[in-house]
Amino acid sequence: MTRSAVNTLWATALVDELARAGVRELVVAPGSRSTPIVLAAARDDRLRARVHLDERSAGFFALGVGKATGRPAAVVTTSGTAVANLLPAVVEASQAGVPLLVLSADRPPRLRGADANQAIEQPGIFGPYVRESFDPGLPVLDEAPLRHLRTVAARAVASALAPRAGPVHVNLPFDKPLEPAPTPDGFLRDHPLAAHGRPERAPFATVATGRPRASEEQIDELAEWCAPERVPIRGVLVAGPTEEAERTGPAVLALAVALGWPILADPLSGARFAPARGALRVSGYDLFLGDPDVGERLAPDLVLRIGASPTSASVQKWLLHHGGVRHVVIDPTDRWKDHAAVATHYLRADPAEALGQLVERVVSGPADGEWIELWRAADEAARRVIADTGAGEAEAHEGRVVADVVDALPSDASLVVSNSMPIRDVDAFVAPSDRELRVYGNRGASGIDGVVSTAFGIASQSEHPTVCILGDVAFFHDRNGLLWSREPDASVVFVLVDNDGGGIFHSLPIANHEPAFTRFFATPHGVDPRPVVEGHGIEYDEVAPSAIGARVDAALASGHSTVLRVRTDRDANHRLHLASRDSAVRSVAEALG
């Protein structure tokens, strides 16, 4: 049998088994060595195959698919540095807990370390950032190797899924020739299971993964801490970023109502933009909790935290200051989520399930009326400041820009928020809302790379509109991601907050050290994005800060990918942020007496 026929059947069996395990999206970065995999995918009507010339953009698009669906997309590369370009997306998927499959084509093992062209050590290239790594070896047309390959495909998909979701690497060496060829009928007839898989397109191996569950004793103990029979507890729920926001957010809100506790709900928690049903979600906590006097006035007896560490530096500072109180973290994964070492108890359990059990135990617990009223007063005071943010200012306030953008979004819209200032501005200046918004951000490793591609990946999986807020540095960092605008099912409205450099660095002490600060940190670039955007056939518009809400609404109505550029000034914006923080602290301190 020819080598071409062996490669064809091997790749066909792998792709067939991935589809049986639930993979529906395959993202291809072009190259020769991956020919058998790509052509097998092109023949399979269960898969949507997409193409992008940049491996990094391909990886982040696949990451966006995983974020939106909870199922892994497979990204395919050729050999060599093509694989290495996936590392940023793999790291983000690993740190954030997002399912992702990497299928890297490779040269034959005999060429590794032998000065062969485009041959590097691909097995293990992603180090500790993959949940599992498979290297099934060169294709062999025999019963046992093919059965093993199908099992590898099933295991790879299962390993990428929750509760320990993340990236999985399958390295696939192929020898030439790589072009497709028919497999002899004799082999197909004599080895039906290996060649065709199990009957009725059933998976070759169904791998069941269970979620960790809290015991009845653990839930009972937690209920006693949260709602003892006679003594009201001054507790706070801190809902951090989570990749299962739609499951966890409602459970957090239900428990807050049952306990009568306030919630500090991160934008990525699922509890910030959803029906509150009577829960108190505190606004603007990032603006006032960093103040020592206000933070002391709101000192808790107990903190119950769900999700990753909150975006807000003020909340993290407040938690650290009150590190002596009982602090319980509920998390289902084996990634430790307490870098400040403030947790006193760590419960490895499914948060949505554990909180639901807890609600059943504490519905009759006594609430501290004075405690919730303190937080309500702080919330109302902060809301007044947020409402006045940027009003009458000669310069654009980026906090007001992002608030107006979010206000313009319809229910069920997807909001993708870049790192650095955009996510912090959403956290500080966007009030909680009963509108159900799906909010996404790459907070696993908190990089600015791949934001454009991630947004397109998310948009491709939703029938509802997608808006992405990002800064100019993140925008230009992933300008190749704009090529994804060619996908007919992936339109995104980008709100480009352009302050010509890295605005977040103005909040650091290094800002006082000129001229090094501007050259090496703020890094103004002076690049006009219009030619870049219009060169990709995407609509572009310069928008005044005061008009951004209406312009977003119009862009969403068009159904086309659009870039809306809002120009701001870094120095002025930093001053306005400081003024907003000072106003919030004064207002909240006065409200708390």
Residue 49 lies in a domain: yes
- Whether 379 and 472 share a structural domain: no
pLDDT in 10s for each residue of the chain, 593 residues: 788 999 999 999 999 999 999 999 999 999 999 999 999 999 999 999 999 999 999 999 999 999 999 999 999 999 999 999 999 999 999 999 999 999 999 999 999 889 888 999 999 999 999 999 999 999 998 899 999 999 999 999 999 997 889 999 999 999 999 998 888 788 888 888 888 999 999 999 999 888 899 999 999 999 999 988 777 889 999 999 999 999 999 999 999 999 999 999 999 999 999 999 999 999 999 999 999 999 999 999 999 999 999 999 999 999 999 999 999 999 998 889 999 999 999 999 999 999 999 999 886 555 678 999 999 999 999 999 999 888 777 788 999 999 999 999 999 999 999 999 999 999 999 999 999 999 999 999 999 999 999 999 999 999 999 999 999 999 999 999 999 999 999 999 999 999 998 878 777 788 788 888 888 887 888 999 999 999 999 999 999 999 999 999 999 999 999 999 999 999 999 999 999 999 999 999 999 98
- Whether 309 and 439 share a structural domain: no
**Residue 355 sits in a domain of what CATH number?**
3.40.50.1220
Q: Label residues 184-198 b or e (16+ Cβ within 10 Å = b).
A: eeebeeebeebbebe
- Whether 352 and 421 share a structural domain: no
Helices (H) and strands (E) in the chain, counts: 23, 18
Q: Which residue from 448, 467, 449 is spatially nearest to 458, judged by alpha carbons?
A: 467
- Whether 463 and 559 share a structural domain: yes
Asked whether the CA dihedral 441, 442, 446, 448 is positive or negative, the reply is negative
Query: Last residue of a domain, which of 151, 175, 199?
Result: 175
Query: Last residue of a domain, which of 116, 146, 175?
Result: 175
Q: Are 299 and 326 in contact (CB under 8 A)?
A: no
**Residue 164 sits in a domain of what CATH number?**
3.40.50.970
Residue 32 lies in a domain: yes
- Whether 234 and 370 share a structural domain: yes
- Whether 550 and 453 share a structural domain: yes
Count the neighbouring beta carbons within 10 Å of the beta carbon of residue 560.
Answer: 14
Query: Last residue of a domain, which of 384, 411, 433?
Result: 384
- Whether 368 and 455 share a structural domain: no
What's this model's pTM, rounded to 2 decimal places?
0.96
Largest CA distance in the chain: 86
Cα gap 329→327, rounded to integer Å: 7
Per the structure, the count of domains in the chain is 3
Cα gap 17→149, rounded to integer Å: 9
- Structural domain containing residue 546: 396-568
Residue 517: both structure tokens together: 């600060």
Query: What are 440's strand-pairing partners?
Result: 416
- Whether 158 and 221 share a structural domain: no
Residue 181 lies in a domain: no
Residue 370 lies in a domain: yes
- Whether 10 and 79 share a structural domain: yes
Residue 210 lies in a domain: no
- pLDDT reported for residue 367: 67
Q: Rounded to a whole number, what is the distance in angstroms from the first to the last CA of the chain?
A: 85
Give the three-state DSSP class for 415: strand
| Residue 148 parent element (H or E) | helix 143-160
Residue 221 lies in a domain: yes
Residue 237 lies in a domain: yes
- Whether 330 and 407 share a structural domain: no
Cα gap 152→145, rounded to integer Å: 10
Give the three-state DSSP class for 283: coil
- Whether 338 and 445 share a structural domain: no
- Whether 522 and 421 share a structural domain: yes
Residue 488 lies in a domain: yes
